[in-house]
Amino acid sequence: MNQGTKQLFVQTASLVAGFMVWVLISSLMPFIQADIKLSSTQIAWATAVPVILGSLLRVPIGYWTNRYGARILFTISFIIMLLPIAIISYAHSILMLISGGFLLGIGGAVFSIGVTSLPKYYAKAKHGFINGIYGAGNIGTALTSFSAPVLANLFGWRGTIKLFLIVVLIFAILNFIFGDRKEQKVNNSLSEQIKDVYRNPKLWLLSLFYFITFGSFVAFTIYLPSFLVNHFSLEKVDAGLRTAGFIALATLFRPIGGWLGDKINPFLILMAVFFGLTFAGFLLSFTPSLPVYSFGCLLVAFCAGIGNGAIFKLVPLYFSKQAGIVNGIVAAMGGLGGFFPPLILTILFNFTGHYAIGFMSLSEFSLSSFILVVWLYYQDKLDISTKIVDTAVDGIVVTDTNGIIQRVNPAFKRITGYTQEEVVGKTLSVLQSGEHDNEFYKNMWFHLKTNGLWEGFIWNKRKNNEIYKEWLTITAIKDDIGETKNYVGMFSEENDQMKEKR
């Protein structure tokens, strides 16, 4: 087994364990509130607090993973997690629950370790699928949602929490023994990396998209157990099983989303994802019956899983040199996306008596994200076109219908000596050599306007007044209704090689 495959197994299993611990409070909340008297607002805070540290700590953990390696970060994280588990197992008040729950967030923060470490072992074409497989480690939340209520019926909720001390200790040892001691390290300054990326709008757009997709996953994971018990009067174990089904579906489709991102444009995938989330949020806002509500939740799980996988295909694609810090920022925003909804839903329910506005917010945010993805998709295509023009060997000049220069490429300067600033706003006459009479240019424009194309040899003049011969092709660029909007000229200076070819 090569090192990459070995680390994929070890780190994915570690993420499973971390996420199992992360949702302990929300999975056992129906049992905890029967023992500790809590208001609906206190329940919302107790279940949401683990998300805070699990989100904010993802930024430095992504950076530290690049600097120290996944082995050290996973080992230390699991050792620290022993403390909050112990605190919660002896909790008798909301203060102890929140104190332990805050540190419990480390279980969610470890997500940044694998998405930063694992791409180092694989080719870029596989990053989407590999990060998708690793991200499937969030199945740990399903395992806890399913098993914790069952174990709590047998051993009590405090005894169930103490069992997780064993799980955490085992994974601390496993990472210390089997972690890669020779992982490639990146020792760039944290401040320098942040300076390199914080002005890039793609960072914040990806953060917004993950805020919606992963935030939806986390929010539903921590809120569903209590919501199903309180709103639909389900049994605690039944609510846990349904929550586990939601998590399992989202987890299953995460690597599929990453795999699809490797095969087709990830922006097309995200369009479908946010369209689906828009519809799901709209459906849930009408407070439907349990079957319809279940369908809406499963649609959220499907879209969130696909979206989570696709987004982490885009991160290393755009930020290969700053993957650690960017993974941390995007992942942190995703975690925070799961922190706010439970609190907002509770506050809105206390004010209005229903959850419609909260679920409609999911729909509106998703619709806004859909529009932004469409814009990014076409902007990306435009960027590619711009790069093609800028890297072309031939000189390229774009004019309006009156022959006024709008833009030139770097090769234009290399051939003519003129910079873009010197020629924009002027006509092509700036290049005229005087070797051709007016009849030549009249024929050129006649053919261009009649056929939409002219090509041939022409003598032009450089900035230094040197006259040279070039092969010029001018094409009319038309809109959808056939009207000419611009002319594009491509030219190359005639040299000995061109003469031989002709």
Residue 450 is part of a domain; what is its CATH number?
Answer: 3.30.450.20
Among all chains, which residue has been given the structure tokens 């586990």?
Answer: 244
Tell me which H or E stretch contains 363: helix 356-391
Choosing from 338, 373, 388, the residue where a domain stops is 388
**Contacts of 30-34 spanning 24+ positions with Cβ under 8 A:** 30/149, 30/225, 30/226, 30/229, 30/236, 30/239, 31/149, 31/152, 31/156, 31/157, 31/236, 32/91, 32/97, 32/157, 33/226
Altogether, the residues listed in the chain come to a count of 502
Alpha-carbon gap, residue 116 to 22, rounded angstroms: 20
Which DSSP symbol is given to 427? B
For residues 84 and 154, state if they share a domain.
Answer: yes
Same domain, 381 and 411: no
From CA 265, how far away is CA 438, in angstroms rounded?
50
Tell me the residue type at 75. T
CA distance 129 to 224: 29
Do 398 and 358 share a domain, yes or no? no
Q: What does the pLDDT look like over 3-30, one tens digit per residue?
A: 889 999 999 999 999 999 998 998 898 8
Are 367 and 423 in the same domain? no
Contact assessment for residue 161 and residue 26, using Cβ atoms and an 8 Å cutoff: no
Q: 359 with 225, same domain?
A: yes
In a shared domain, residues 477 and 350? no
Give yes or no: residues 346 and 492 share one domain.
Answer: no
pTM above the 0.95 mark?
A: no
129 with 255: CB under 8 angstroms?
Answer: yes
Both 348 and 485 in a single domain? Answer: no
- Amino acid 323: pLDDT: 67
In this structure, which amino acid lies at residue 200? Answer: N
Among candidate residues 354, 373, 388, the one where a domain is terminated: 388
Whether 261 and 401 map to the same domain: the answer is no
Helix 356-391 vs helix 323-352: crossing angle, to nearest 10: 150
Q: What is the CATH number of the domain that holds 118?
A: 1.20.1250.20
Task: Kindly report, residue by residue over 445-500, the tens digit of the pLDDT.
Answer: 888 888 889 999 999 999 999 999 999 999 998 876 778 888 999 999 876 444 44
Q: For a pLDDT cut of 70, what percent of the chain falls above it?
A: 96
Query: What residue numbers bound the domain in which 473 lies?
Result: 392-501
CB 473 within 8 A of CB 453: yes
Which of the 8 DSSP states describes residue 462?
-
Q: What is the pLDDT of residue 497?
A: 46
Count: domains in the chain:
2
Eight-class DSSP state of 396 = E
Which amino acid would we find at residue 461? Answer: K
Shared-domain flag, residues 374 and 476: no
Are 384 and 417 found together in one domain?
no
Question: Is there a single domain that holds both residue 485 and residue 453?
Answer: yes
Last residue within a domain, chosen from 371, 388, 405: 388
